Every structure is written in structure tokens, then in C-alpha cells.
Structure 1
Amino acid sequence: MSENNENKRVEHVQTGKVISNKMDKTVTVRLERMLKHPLYGKYIRRSSKVHAHDENNECNEGDTVRIAPGRPLSKTKSWKVVEIVERAQ
């Protein structure tokens, strides 16, 4: 392997929608994905809810945000908000 490939770290950045901002410095983000049913071939929408760290309490409900994994900050919070992609209207 070359030196460049050894030092690169893969970022698992996800995009989701804020569904709750009632906590201090924490938002709940819904991550949606589409998967194909193994037998029938129809696409099914699946979602997960994760808690993400929002340092400045900038996010509001309905915002689309980009989050990245980080070190665990609490029992359930191990993601951080990287940027706000789109504000809710």
C-alpha cells in the first residue's frame, strides 16, 4: 500500500432531518434509507433515530442536517452536527 492510502480515514457522513430539539445541545435526527424487498422487489423506506451533538443550539425542527460519527458524549449520543444543509420554512 502507498503512504497516502494508509493515512486516509473514511468519513461516514449521513444526512437527515431534525425531528426534535428539546434537549440542551442535542438534537434527534431521523436517518432514512431505501432498501429493496428481497422477494417482491418493492422499495421500502426504513428509518433510524440518532442523537447528535449541536454545540450552539442552532438547529430547529424540520432542518436538514449533515451529521458525522464521533466519540461517545453520553449514553446515547455519539454523532455530531457538521452543518445545516437546509433550514425549515
Structure 2
Amino acid sequence: MSESTTNKPGLRKSRVGVVVSTKMDKTIVVEYVARVPHPRFKKIVKRTKKFYAHDEEGQAAVGDKVRITETKPISKKKCWVLAEVLSH
């Protein structure tokens, strides 16, 4: 599920994850799973992180696979926006 990200100016990060909550108004919680090597043992391990993303139309539902992209801060914890719903 992980995608490569670059730190070039003008390019925004994007993540693919699963929606775990839609209880807030115009906000979804997306769980992102990254497969990274362990720093010492080099075994591939899964790291999960939750992102708060802005969903203006409320088109995402719990369990949907979605793509989110980085944007300017919308609120204290929300600096991602829903780009597209990949599957239901």
C-alpha cells in the first residue's frame, strides 16, 4: 500500500489507505499502512498511522480504500484532503 514520496518543492505527498471513521462532519480518518525495514534487524515490518482528511461532499464510507493528498493546514490536526475513492 505504500507509495514513494519525494521532497521536491511543489509536489504534494499522497497516501492510499482505508477509511476507519466518518463520524465527524466533513472529516474522515484514514489508516495508512507503511511497510518499512526495522532499523536494526532489517526485517520488513508494518507501521500504521492515522490521518485526518477533509471530505467536503461526504463521499467516503467506512471500509473504503481512498487516496488522500497533502494540503495546507485546514485545522489543528487536518492537513490532508480526499483525492479519490478507489474502491468501496
Q: What TM-score comes out, normalization by structure 1 length?
A: 0.83
- Contiguous gaps of at least 5 residues in structure 2: 1-8
**1:60: Cα distance to partner?**
0.5
Residue matched to 2:23: 22
- Rounded to whole Å, the distance in 2 between the matches of 1:38 and 1:86 is 33
> Mind listing any 5+ residue stretches in structure 1 that lack a counterpart?
1-7
Question: What secondary structure is seen at the aligned counterpart in 2 of 1:71?
Answer: coil
RMSD: 1.3
Q: Which amino acid aligns with 2:34?
A: R
Q: What is the identity percentage for the equivalent residue pairs of Structure 1 and Structure 2? A: 36
Aligned residue for 2:47? 46
Runs of 4+ in 1 over 6 A off after TM superposition: none
Partner of 1:4 in structure 2?
none
TM value normalised by structure 2:
0.84
1:35 CA displacement? 1.0
2:81 match: 80
Q: Answer 1 or 2: which has greater helix percent.
A: 1
Instruction: Please state how far the C-alpha of 1:11 moved relative to its aligned partner.
Output: 2.5
Residue 60 (structure 1) aligned with residue 77 (structure 2): no
